[in-house]
Structure 1
Amino acid sequence: MIVSDLKDVNAPSGDRIDRLVAEHRPGHGLARAFYHDQDIYARDLERVFRRHWHCIAHESVIPNANDFELFRIADEQVILTRHADGSIHALLNVCRHRGAEVCTKDKGNARVFVCPYHAWTYSNDGALRAARLMPKEFRREDHGLKKLHVRVVEGLVFISFAPVPLDFTEVEHLLHATCGQYGWANARVAHRESYAINANWKLAVENYVECYHCGPAHPEYSQTHALEQPLHMIEAMNQAMEQRTCALGIEVGSGNHWQTSENGKEAIHAFRYALYEGVKSGSEDGAAVAPLMGRFADFDGGVTSIHLGGTTFLVCYPDHGMIYRFIPKTAETCEMELIWLVDGKAEAGRDYDLDRLTWLWRVTTDEDKAIIEHTARGVRSHYFEPGPIAPMEQNELRYIDWYLDEISRA
């Protein structure tokens, strides 16, 4: 057996990574090094996380003027703020003087951020308002906090670290056609939960994008969601679902714009699939868990799933929504954040029970965390050799090919 990631360990990191990409066997999983190598992780941050758009939150987490929340992605800290005029900004938490963190709380309400080191003071739109004892010729307008690109679509807040961000047009159109029909612009966050995962971020994403494991690993999910079967076996169910959706006067969009960044555009793929007969929503018993959202006057027995930009995944039910965020921490650790959305007027205890609302995806994610960490321990073995991708893992195969293309492109 040849363990390819152990060869030429003294070669320059770029040459070694490019060689590993070239050695990838089509139709198979990634080699061991992609899940633990520090140089590959650094390239992941450079060419995936700093190039693509990421959903960071639903705007309802900062509902009021001057609200803010601090988000951490790898070694970066991003302050998400709502200015007094209602505009949303994403600011890097790095003082323009000596680099200290200017925001020292995880969330709150503040018109300004004062650096604890030398008291440089910034407005919550990033502008530098005061820099004590600086010379007369100092220009405050040249030293505001660095800002990230921001897009807000159907209530979802997206950020990009790229100097020139990827074109977001196709993403925006498809989000209007999908999340827009479910009323996400008028939704609010009902619950958020983060899961620390002792595994490389790609193992977590690869697990999410395929349902080959759903039958053996997620019995609760598989009782209600037909995606646990191959797509050709549920074609009739999917057609019946679409007929019910159309009968409600709704046309939920789907579309495949999954593409590399070669042409300067962001990747997005939206698809729909059926729930089993009589199932209304993603819950323990298949019953509704919250008031209907958006344009839905009844349940259509379906789900809309959206994969976006490599780290953001969305799930739309008629009565609630899910945001999945995948966040790198180190080469061998990551975090998954789950965000539950409900109609903006719904109140916990009156319109929904929080435990019932969150039950299915909490159970499923607990199971996923265990599976991913089992896999992470296995692929650390020097004797690990990736096997062939199964037909039901077609989205994982697509994701792997996309990922390899992205880290190959400077």
Structure 2
Amino acid sequence: MKVSADIQALVDRRKQGYSLEAPFYLSEEIFRLDMDAIFRQHWIQVAVEPDVPEPGDYVTVELGSDSILIVRDDDMQVRAFHNVCRHRGARLCNEDKGTVGNIVCPYHSWTYNLSGDLMFAEHMGEQFDRCKHSLKSVHVENLAGLIFVCLAENPPVDFAVMRAAMEPYLLPHDLPNCKIAAQIDIIEKGNWKLTMENNRECYHCVANHPELTISLYEYGFGYQRSPANAEGMDAFERTCIERARQWEEMNLPSVEIDRLSDVTGFRTQRLPLDRSGESQTLDAKVASKKLLGEFRQADLGGLSFWTQPNSWHHFMSDHIVTFSVIPLSAGETLVRTKWLVHKDAQEGVDYDVSNLTAVWNATNDQDRALVEYSQRGASSSAYEPGPYSPFTEGLVEKFSDWYVRRLASHIDSSASEPRTINIKAV
């Protein structure tokens, strides 16, 4: 995609430590660039392994104009394909999720197995080579049960770095042996970057998230030290040190890893939870009596995992909450939230869905309003980039800096590519 001089200038003059200029949130041209430079070039978190628990189970994910089919094959491997028939391009699976024996095109019944091989295509003649018409695969990676796809021909190779760092943190929670207890999709009337920026700070949490802050320590996400809060911050730091020692003895890593500047950027940290200290619920106690993996202790804090450009996740002793952000337009964003519990947990016996989802249902609604306030504000002629707090918005700056650097890299690489000239016969 060739970018205009105006977009190039916006990228070049981005001021570190400040929010982005308004066109980054409002321009449909920049939205198209975002899809090309970010969502078609990087590893995008789109699903979880329990979305497709059995062979033939599938989910579809829309990334801009591309529909991605994620399916479990007969060997229990998770595969990803372009959801497009190799005959005349019809959409293959037209539901959000389902189960199939084979993948059958609804138009002319071309039939593919779960590995994407074309098995049946009637009336194509003896010279037709089925082997040349398999489904087009999409790069897919499974990180401890979190499913990522990449649409690029050559995906970023540093996914292996994230895997090596994160598996010791995630595997004890045993996400593959969970089930999805609830899923909520909401559409925020705001740009996807505002959704991500809002997630990357808790400056707003005390004033806006009464349900979430029941279980979160006030000082857990950055605070400016003052005489008024020094005692509380010191107590929190002592709690973190003591709990980290206990977790390490249980082979539960907790130390912060921050690689948000990598091409495949990520960050993680396990922090204590407040009050009962067990889970992100309205009473800070477990929402599911059936603990995950081999856990025998409930108060294991909250493990948070953030990825660039589109996801964040919270892992606790009893349940997991995953969030995946998908841009729809310059001014609309899909936020998909899933709550997972142990696969053997029984609804109504071990957990109640309303209790399980109460905190993040409320928080999502509150965040949606905040994102929409910001989107409307960015469209004002009075808007100009404002300064980030160095104490509470450092992760917002890391997201914005990563985003602009990835745009700049894409623009540079596109400018250096040779032009292709198409000559039409007259």
Residues 79-124 of structure 1: CA distance to partner in whole angstroms, max 9, x if unpaired?
A: 1111122222111111222221122233222122332333322223
Q: Distance in 2 between matches of 1:207 and 1:93?
A: 32
Paired residues for 1:9-408 under 5 Å = 13-167=3-157, 168-227=159-218, 230=222, 233=233, 234-248=236-250, 250-252=252-254, 254-261=256-263, 266-290=264-288, 291-300=290-299, 302-391=301-390, 392-408=392-408
For residue 422 of structure 2, what is the aligned residue in structure 1? none
Partner AA of 1:276 in structure 2 = D
Residues 305-364 of structure 1: CA distance to partner in whole angstroms, max 9, x if unpaired?
A: 111131121111111111110011112111001111112221211111111111111111
Q: Is the 8 A contact 1:113 1:124 kept in 2?
A: yes
Q: Distance in 1 between matches of 2:294 and 2:53?
A: 23
SS at the partner of 2:8?
A: helix
> Structure 1 pair 224/106, CA: closer, same or farther in 2 (3 Å)?
closer
SS at the partner of 1:207?
A: helix
SS at the partner of 2:156?
A: coil
SS at the partner of 1:306?
A: strand
Q: Distance in 1 between matches of 2:64 and 2:339?
A: 23
Deviation at 1:372, TM superposition (A): 0.8
Q: Distance in 2 between matches of 1:294 and 1:116?
A: 41
Deviation at 1:20, TM superposition (A): 0.2
Q: Distance in 1 between matches of 2:169 and 2:256?
A: 7
* Bigger Cα displacement from structure 2, 277-286 vs 237-246: 237-246
Q: Distance in 2 between matches of 1:73 and 1:81?
A: 17
> Structure 1 pair 253/64, CA: closer, same or farther in 2 (3 Å)?
farther
* Bigger Cα displacement from structure 2, 312-321 vs 106-115: 106-115
Partner AA of 1:204 in structure 2 = T
Q: Distance in 1 between matches of 2:163 and 2:132?
A: 32
Q: Distance in 1 between matches of 2:303 and 2:332?
A: 29
* Bigger Cα displacement from structure 2, 69-78 vs 34-43: 69-78
Q: Is the 8 A contact 2:44 2:310 kept in 1?
A: yes
Deviation at 1:228, TM superposition (A): 5.3
Q: Is the 8 A contact 2:308 2:399 kept in 1?
A: no
Deviation at 1:204, TM superposition (A): 0.6
Deviation at 1:389, TM superposition (A): 0.4
Deviation at 1:136, TM superposition (A): 2.8
Q: Distance in 1 between matches of 2:370 and 2:22?
A: 17
Alignment RMSD = 1.9
SS at the partner of 1:68?
A: strand
* Superposition TM-score, scaled by structure 2 size: 0.88
Q: Distance in 1 between matches of 2:325 and 2:106?
A: 31
Partner AA of 1:45 in structure 2 = M
Q: Distance in 1 between matches of 2:356 and 2:206?
A: 22
* Bigger Cα displacement from structure 2, 88-97 vs 352-361: 88-97
Deviation at 1:301, TM superposition (A): 5.2
Q: Is the 8 A contact 2:52 2:58 kept in 1?
A: yes
Q: Is the 8 A contact 1:324 1:338 kept in 2?
A: yes
Q: Is the 8 A contact 1:37 1:331 kept in 2?
A: yes
SS at the partner of 1:323?
A: strand
Q: Is the 8 A contact 1:211 1:228 kept in 2?
A: no
Deviation at 1:370, TM superposition (A): 1.0
Percent of matched pairs sharing the same residue = 30
* Bigger Cα displacement from structure 2, 203-212 vs 277-286: 277-286
> Structure 1 pair 110/407, CA: closer, same or farther in 2 (3 Å)?
same
SS at the partner of 2:42?
A: coil
**After TM superposition, which residue ranges in structure 1, 4 or more long, deviate above 3 angstroms?**
246-254
Deviation at 1:153, TM superposition (A): 2.4
* Bigger Cα displacement from structure 2, 175-184 vs 351-360: 175-184
Q: Distance in 1 between matches of 2:60 and 2:219?
A: 37
Deviation at 1:273, TM superposition (A): 2.2
Deviation at 1:181, TM superposition (A): 2.1
Residues 281-320 of structure 1: CA distance to partner in whole angstroms, max 9, x if unpaired?
A: 1001111111322343213452111111311211111111
Q: Is the 8 A contact 1:215 1:228 kept in 2?
A: no
Q: Which runs of 5+ in 1 are unaligned?
A: 1-11
Q: Is the 8 A contact 1:67 1:82 kept in 2?
A: yes
Deviation at 1:371, TM superposition (A): 0.9
Q: Distance in 1 between matches of 2:142 and 2:215?
A: 32
SS at the partner of 1:395?
A: helix
Q: Is the 8 A contact 2:56 2:73 kept in 1?
A: yes
Q: Distance in 2 between matches of 1:159 and 1:138?
A: 31
> Structure 1 pair 174/253, CA: closer, same or farther in 2 (3 Å)?
farther
Deviation at 1:223, TM superposition (A): 2.5
> Structure 1 pair 249/40, CA: closer, same or farther in 2 (3 Å)?
closer
Deviation at 1:182, TM superposition (A): 1.9
* Bigger Cα displacement from structure 2, 327-336 vs 240-249: 240-249
Q: Is the 8 A contact 2:25 2:193 kept in 1?
A: yes
Q: Is the 8 A contact 1:248 1:298 kept in 2?
A: no
Number of residues of Structure 1 aligned to a counterpart in Structure 2: 395
Deviation at 1:163, TM superposition (A): 1.0
* Bigger Cα displacement from structure 2, 181-190 vs 331-340: 181-190
Deviation at 1:227, TM superposition (A): 4.9
SS at the partner of 1:292?
A: coil
Q: Distance in 1 between matches of 2:207 and 2:374?
A: 15
